[in-house]
Amino acid sequence: MVAMWSVNDSWYVRSRKSGCCEASLVISPEFQGTGIGREMLSLEMSIQVELGYTRTINDFSASNERMRRLVRRLHGRRSVVIGCLPRGMYTAGVGWDDQVIVFQHLHDIRPFTEIAEHNRIYGVRSTKL
């Protein structure tokens, strides 16, 4: 398995009318650092918009420096750290680690079908996946 990914209504925000979702992304260690995470996060945000979500809450391990840099680079000002759960998650090879919780607005992300149609018309193909 290269990666596993899911999008669902947010556990942190319990109202279905909130327009808030969460997503999970796990990439196998042998494929980390290859650009798959960047491609998957971009695809994830586009699909969230397609499904009608306007914001997302995600979390990641505080020791995962690659993910911290990627979130900053991809989301910039749209992303705000809203909390940290001390020893909130367990990661194989690391042990118990702090869980960073991030809130993001999706207001300027294009839907997946719009991106796919643009790529089809102009013959753009992903080189990563």
Could you tell me the two tokens for 44?
């994830």
Whole-number Cα distances in Å, 11 to 3, 8, 29, 49, 122: 22, 9, 27, 18, 39
Q: pLDDT tens, 19-45?
A: 888 888 888 888 888 888 888 888 888
Number of neighbouring beta carbons within 10 Å of residue 126? 10
Q: pLDDT tens, 67-83?
A: 888 888 877 777 888 88
The CATH number of 3-122 is 3.40.630.30
Domain range summary for the chain, segments of one domain joined by + = 3-122
CA dist., res. 83 & res. 100, Å (int): 6
Number of neighbouring beta carbons within 10 Å of residue 26? 12
Q: pLDDT tens, 89-113?
A: 887 777 899 888 888 888 777 777 7
Number of neighbouring beta carbons within 10 Å of residue 25? 18
